[in-house]
A and B are shown apart, each in its own frame.
Chain A
Amino acid sequence: DSGVTQTPKHLITATGQRVTLRCSPRSGDLSVYWYQQSLDQGLQFLIQYYNGEERAKGNILERFSAQQFPDLHSELNLSSLELGDSALYFCASSVGPLGSPLHFGNGTRLTVT
């Protein structure tokens, strides 16, 4: 058990809809990362937060947004969903500094129909 909790585990929704994925980081970890994993794109970095502030941005679409709250949990909001957004979305957390490793949740599998 990595200590990172992601909810829900599975999500099925229709095109055009909006969903929110939630992540609770490991106790003591200040950084939260979001990744998208799909068969054709591999593991793509979306965005990173450190202690409530956005730290780095990757290939995140404008339809997607995220935030990290004062209690350090994070939410990833996906809107105007398209079929191509179907993927496994992972949250990971780390202490932050000195090349600390990421601890991954088990992911949220999003299916857009």
Chain B
Amino acid sequence: AQSVTQLGSHVSVSEGALVLLRCNYSSSVPPYLFWYVQYPNQGLQLLLKYTTGATLVKGINGFEAEFKKSETSFHLTKPSAHMSDAAEYFCALSKTSYDKVIFGPGTSLSVIP
């Protein structure tokens, strides 16, 4: 069965510091992987996605993620945190094109001025 785990339900960083949000997955076949962000009182928005090809994926708002098959990981990073990055971040996967998308439990990111 597929699953997504996110280490750390809450992460705090200082403004300007590196953001690292961890995601590990379990899948019987190479999955499609996604990171979504949810701001308060809003739906989820896509940050970036990995399907095939280059393992380093660049997304919006300066975020990027690296797919590491050997570690079954897809960690999200941003070199310098902004106050506007404070939100809930979800890692997600789907097995095939038409399969359901499974979300991790989410990581709440706080940015300290």
Contacts and interface: CB of A to CB of B under 8 A. Distances in A.
Contacts of B41: 106
A106 B94 contact: no
A97 interface: yes
A31 B99 CA distance: 11
Contact of A42 (B32, B34, B101, B106): B106
A43 B103 contact: yes
B10 to A, nearest CB: 13
B51 interface: yes
Interface stretch (B17-25, B42-50, B68-76, B79-87): B42-50
A70 interface: no
B43 A101 contact: no
Interface stretch (A13-21, A48-56, A61-69, A78-86): A48-56
Contacts of A96: 97-98
Contact of A90 (B44, B94, B97, B102): B44
B34 A101 contact: yes
A8 interface: no
A35 B41 CA distance: 15
Nearest to A2: B43
**4 closest A-B pairs by CB:** A104-B43, A99-B32, A56-B100, A97-B97
Interface of B: 32, 34, 36, 41-46, 49, 51, 90, 94, 97-106
